[in-house]
Structure 1
């Protein structure tokens, strides 16, 4: 729970601090890279850590991950440029890949199927506590101390988590020579990296039908095809595709990919909208995002009980309905609607995420044995994180291209660029802007984010459709 708390604090605090970071370091065009760099390493290493935990046990893997995460957090706090911050986020993400999946796998190890549903709800409540404390503390630190402290606050939390895990988690692991799928890890890293660069740059610096975009798409597809064949022949594959043959796991993982894309669309850009367009403080922006993490544990706790009464499929369908409702609210966001409307959409999406993720994790862990539980749990979290990664890059690219198009339509192509949006995120600089220029920037950001949330709504529809393909009875 301590490890989960650290990961949850990270998720809410950084989003709240991003407008202040951009105002200080500049580089709005690199905004999505701060999330993408972290999520890339997170996505790649989740599978590696999941497999290693099956081979060597949960304790050494999660402790190693937390240590790397803390090193990255310290470097983020010391960053003096957007480039250094992005590199530090790579390191932080490299460690973060161990935290969530291994903590969740440990729960699957030490509790029975009936207990897991309830305990996963308790674990999710950690998100609620951290969600309330995270943005509140983060907003105060940003406003009265420095954005750097939002990274450094991870250090004491991480040390406490390590101490607790080392002292209390006992494991009996069979000692034998293990084979690690290094080739698979390298191919997956390259494949995802290529596609992430493609999604970030396409439509902004490169046309969608340009040679670099087509070339990167071909390279990325080829590398991921090699990864697939490598996993089919590896003695200890990093991604054991055999578990995907079970329809429950396949559908749950595909739906986790689309919900991951939704999640990043909300958490990455909502604070910027509340601060830049609605002209509210970092604390208000933080609480608008916090409402999602309040709805999440409430729904997860309820889902833990519903799973035993109405089954995982019906519970998942209810969650899909909340995702549709929440994304519909975000689609109607306007400056006049105010932060409460943004918070409502965030809260309803949180309800949907809580129900769906709890259903998926409990069901997946119940269909596999200890020897593959780490990999199976990691595969689901990998797909959600991969959705985060692709979503951050894709939605960031959509926002950037829509902003550029709007500035050109308004005749400001020579006066404004993507980094001009930095002015909206700093109240002092925003106050000094010419009225017409300020309105143009805010309207551009509103139109750009409307396009982002239109895509988020489409992802919600796809997620709902996928859930209906879940089998009516659990597979053995």
Structure 2
């Protein structure tokens, strides 16, 4: 290379450095990329990556936060509305499916959406998922039977899966690694905020209006988010401004060669295995007995599908296959990453139980209104939000390896859940319940906030999208399993405790609607409510067991050269 060419490159790099330094003060500029045809007033160039900055970054961050907020508000907002919904549609026995139908498709589709975005583009995939979410939210509001509601919830979950998967993927790709703690704090805050205000909105709407507004509220908020995404996600994100990147045409995206990248067999095996497993957990002791041929058949078929899924992923991960695996085999030999996923799964188990069962306990056992039940869940959700944000700030400043923070958070969560299981079965609200909410919320918030920043540090760059999807998918899968187990335990407990004293027919009416309890004599009402209270305690004892396993699972993340959540200072 001659001196003129060298001087030209030096001057170009200098000008690019001066320009981008004015965009993000203090950001490290490594090597300038070649100029692109797009305007560069809202991007920061480091090495070969073009980061989003300026107004576009602010609105993109808001869009990501809105996606996480709207999706995570769904479980909690429905939690305080379930009594009103099931009383109106006459289906308390199917109450678990109102939440779980949403979680099954949500659980199964997160990684699949991440992979679809690799083929069709981040912007297109994100907007498509939000449109699906908004349309079927409207469908939920228009439902007139429990079956209609459950079907719409399942399709709503498909859109929700893409929303969270794409939101987290975009968050990882829009800023450099040293900014991950700040972004993780924003995402954790939006997630926890959804859980915080969800019970209040759900309770208030159910108490003062129809429960249908619980779902209708998603429509205007979702439309605003879609508009923001259209405006602020750069064209060809995350390859915007890269001269070496050639964007495929729409025809090329739909070509056989492009679609062959999809691991269709893996996606169907994952969906089938998840659906059958959650189905048997939900319906055992409800529609059929645990030892029945139906239950055993479903469990066997589910186990076979899980084995076939793993075999499929082992084959598809090979270099000779064009299809890109839903869950690459290299994940299974990455111990810190598998430990992260296992902790994510176990942390999701108690979270959904508390968000659903505490409001139900206040309404069914203590006679609180839907809004009152939501207010009483504030300590739990507020501590999740607060600790999720603070722990990322703490980790960024102290550089303490996340494995230690996860261990502490898991122990706090374990203590909180163990204390929950000791609550009195009397009909008087125990004041200590708020203290246990604080402990459990603090522990869960620490774990959730810390897990968000780990994936980019333990997986290969090519797996960034599906790793973010996998992290969320495992947590949601844990939540679905937890709800299925908890619903099964509650139904079994109520059946064994009450069928002999009030009879199967009257028990069926209680399982259809808790409002039927008021039709019993006072002494029988007391017996029924105490059975509900002891059932909630039994659920918490089981959740305590899962929390204990989570403490042990954190050890899998341990390695000699500990993971650091922030980049090294130059």
Deviation for aligned residue 1:381: 0.9
> Are 1:26 and 2:102 an aligned pair?
no
What SS does the corresponding residue of 1:203 show, helix, strand or coil? coil
**Within 5 Å, which residues of 2 pair with 1:104-143?**
104-143=168-207
Q: Which runs of 5+ in 1 are unaligned?
A: none
Tell me by how many angstroms 1:29 deviates: 1.1
Q: Give 1 or 2 for the bigger CA radius of gyration.
A: 2
Q: Which residue of 1 aligns with 2:262?
A: 180
Residue of structure 1 equivalent to 2:390? 302
Structure 1 contact 271–286 (Cα < 8 Å) conserved: yes
Q: TM-score, normalized by length of structure 1?
A: 0.94
Cα distance, 1:65–1:290 mapped onto 2, change above 3 Å: farther
Task: Say if 1:131 and 1:254 are closer, same or farther in 2 by CA, change over 3 A.
Answer: closer
Equivalent residue, structure 2, for 1:347: 438
Give, in whole Å, the separation in 2 of the partners of 1:294 and 1:277.
24
> What are the residue-to-residue correspondences of 1:209-224 with 2, within 5 Å?
209-224=291-306
User: CA contact under 8 A between 1:403 and 1:418: conserved in structure 2?
Assistant: no
SS in 1 for 2:506: coil
CA distance in 1, matches of 2:508, 2:442: 34
Task: Report the more deviating stretch, 395-404 or 355-364.
Answer: 355-364
CA distance in 2, matches of 1:131, 1:256: 17
1:419-443 deviation line (CA, Å, top 9, x unaligned) = 415554x4xx655542122112201
Structure holding more helix per residue: 1
Secondary structure (helix, strand or coil) at the match of 2:502 reads: coil
1:394 maps to 485
Q: Which residue of 2 aligns with 1:16?
A: 80
Corresponding residue of 1:163:
227
Q: CA deviation at 1:128?
A: 4.3
What is the alpha-carbon distance in structure 1 between the residues aligned to residue 92 and residue 427 of structure 2?
24
Output aligned runs, 1:42-191, within 5 Å: 42-170=106-234, 171=237, 172=239, 174-175=247-248, 177-178=257-258, 179-191=261-273
Q: 1:387 to 1:436 in 2, by over 3 A?
A: same
Mark the CA change 1:360 to 1:23 in structure 2 (over 3 Å): closer, same or farther. same
Is the alpha carbon distance of 1:470 and 1:369 closer, same or farther for their aligned partners in structure 2, counting shifts above 3 Å?
closer
- Separation in structure 2 between the aligned mates of residue 290 and residue 239 of structure 1, nearest angstrom: 37
Deviations 1:220-279 (A, max 9, x none): 111111111112222311111312322221011111111211122212222111101011
* Native 8 Å contact 1:10 1:154 kept in 2: no
Specify which structure has the bigger relative contact order, considering alpha-carbon pairs within 8 angstroms and separated by 6 or more residues.
1
Deviation at residue 199 of structure 1 after TM alignment: 0.8
List structure 1 segments (4+ residues) > 6 angstroms apart after TM superposition: none
Instruction: Count how many residue pairs are aligned between Structure 1 and Structure 2.
Output: 472
The whole-number CA distance in structure 1 between the counterparts of 2:519 and 2:455 is 54
CA 1:419–1:377 in 2, change beyond 3 Å: closer, same or farther? farther
Output the CA distance in 2 between the equivalents of 1:434 and 1:190: 46
The C-alpha deviation readout for 1:98-134, integer Å capped at 9, x for no partner, is: 1112111211112222211122112222234434433
- Alignment correspondent of 1:246: 334
* Structure 1 residue 398, shift from structure 2 partner: 0.8
Is 1:198–2:262 an aligned residue pair? Answer: no
SS of aligned partner of 2:286 = coil
Match for 2:510 among 400, 406, 420?
Answer: 420
Aligned to 1:311: 401
Matched, 1:320 2:407: no
Distance in 1, Cα, partners of 2:454 & 2:98: 33
What's the C-alpha RMSD, in Å, of the aligned pairs?
2.0
273-282 vs 384-393, which deviates more? 384-393
Match of 1:385 in 2: 476
Contact kept in structure 2, 1:288 and 1:342, CA below 8 Å: no
Matched residue, 2:360? 272
Secondary structure (helix, strand or coil) at the match of 2:503 reads coil
Partner of 1:469: 556
Aligned to 2:55: none
Gaps of 5+ in 2: 1-64, 240-244, 317-322, 565-570
- Contact 2:93–2:511 (CA under 8 A) maintained in structure 1: no
Deviations 1:123-151 (A, max 9, x none): 22223443443322322211111110010
CA contact (8 A) 2:517 2:528 kept: no
Q: Which moved more, 1:284-293 or 1:242-251?
A: 284-293
**CA offset digits 1:158-200 (Å, max 9, x no partner):** 1111111111111137437431111111111111111111111
Q: 1:231 aligns with which of 281, 289, 313?
A: 313
